[in-house]
Amino acid sequence: MRKQKGFSLIELLIVVAIILIIAAIAIPNLLRAKIAANESSAAASIRSIVTANIEYNTSYPAVGFAATLPVLGPADATCSAGPASTNACIIDLVLAGGTKSGYTLSSTGQASAGVNTQFTASAVPTTWNSTGVKAFCANEDGVVRFYAPTAQPSNVTTDATCNGGSFAPMQ
């Protein structure tokens, strides 16, 4: 009788089982790491939007803070028309588009006597519990706040919502 070369079916099944066990351990950690990276990007995006709104308010005092997020960005990818109160070219096109790293971003100005004297910027997960589990907001005081809802949150559009209730300042 000749000696067989190769692996037996049992040996192959054991190797496949070991690979599946390793994958079962590694994949949830990978997803948690991706969510943490998305949340970090969202918090940084909120900081950028706050800085852009303050710069916009300084550049266009008759308007106040930007009414919406796209106003802070360019009209096109290169900002060829130059900055204006309708497209200030302060943030990039991706951030002004309102979706970045699995988060939906917004910035809403609140008018008083025709001038936006306040604004609220927010970032909520595009798909809750998949792209992120925390919501973020900030307003003209520059403090980034967060909370971890139990279901898909909606965009924060007022100072009262961001400053009170469930949101806590980031440490």
> pLDDT tens digits for the chain (171 residues)?
667 778 889 999 999 999 999 999 988 899 999 999 999 999 999 999 999 999 999 999 999 999 999 999 998 888 898 999 999 999 999 999 999 999 999 999 999 999 999 999 999 999 999 999 999 999 999 999 999 988 888 888 888 888 877 899 987
The verdict on residue 57 lying in a domain is yes
Integer CA distances (angstroms), 132 to 35, 45, 162, in order: 5, 14, 18
As a whole number of angstroms, the distance between CA 99 and CA 28 comes to 24
The verdict on residue 47 lying in a domain is yes
Number of residues in the chain: 171
pLDDT for the residue 1: 61
Count of the separate structural domains present in the chain: 1
pLDDT for the residue 166: 85
The verdict on residue 2 lying in a domain is no
pLDDT for the residue 77: 86
The verdict on residue 110 lying in a domain is yes
Q: Which residue has the tokens 């925390």?
A: 134
The verdict on residue 3 lying in a domain is no
H-helix or E-strand spanning residue 147: strand 145-147
Pairing of strands 99-100, 135-139: unpaired
pLDDT for the residue 150: 87
Query: Whole-model pTM?
Result: 0.85
The verdict on residue 36 lying in a domain is yes
Q: Domain range for residue 157?
A: 9-169
pLDDT for the residue 155: 86
The verdict on residue 159 lying in a domain is yes
3-state secondary structure of 129: coil
As a whole number of angstroms, the distance between CA 152 and CA 136 comes to 13
pLDDT for the residue 133: 94
The verdict on residue 4 lying in a domain is no
